[in-house]
Amino acid sequence: MPVWVPFATAAIGAAVTFCIFVLTGRRERARSKREAVAKFRSAFAEAITQINEKDPHFLMNSAQVQHDVAIFEFRRTVDPKHMQNFDAAVEKFRKCRTELTPATLAVWKSLGSGQPVDDSETVRLKEALNELLAFADQT
């Protein structure tokens, strides 16, 4: 047997092992991203489905920790090219969330002023939520 045969066999074995390692790593990363997207979306599912039926201020305050944890965990899966836009969307969401007026206070303001209840804060919050969740589609 020529001298080069054991070296060639070892090189082929190393190349096959490397390919398996790379392919397994890609599948694992893809699975990890899919799970992160699912967790991110599910963290906001209640808020999205109930924002029109419940007091948005109460809804957002009760889920604040859940939302912040989901944002923190999802951030690591965002493409670095989109990170600045993601951070801007997070800040917009947090700003809209903190500016919400409790529903009872909004009704009292409406009764006192004779104007209809202002729901512009809720509309802005929905836009911010949609903008934030759009990043789950990009991942």
pLDDT in tens, 54-72: 889 899 999 999 999 999 9
Local confidence band at 32 (pLDDT 50, 70, 90 cut-offs): confident
Residue 15 is predicted with a pLDDT of 61
C-alpha distances (whole Å) from 135 to each of 1, 59, 87, 127 are: 58, 22, 11, 13
Q: Write down the H helix ranges in 1-139.
A: 4-50, 56-62, 64-75, 83-98, 103-113, 120-138
Local confidence band at 81 (pLDDT 50, 70, 90 cut-offs): very high
Domain range annotation of the chain? 35-138
Residue 52 is predicted with a pLDDT of 86
Residue 124 is predicted with a pLDDT of 93
Local confidence band at 119 (pLDDT 50, 70, 90 cut-offs): confident
Query: d(Cα 47, Cα 126) in Å, to the nearest integer?
Result: 9
Phi-psi region of 114 (alpha: psi -120 to 50; beta: other; left: phi over 0): left
CB atoms within 10 A of CB 135: 22
Residue 62 is predicted with a pLDDT of 92
With tokens 């903190």, the residue in question is 98
Could you tell me if 37 and 139 are in contact, meaning their C-beta atoms sit under 8 angstroms apart? yes
CB atoms within 10 A of CB 57: 21
Mean pLDDT is lowest, of 9-13, 30-34, 56-60, 84-88, for 9-13
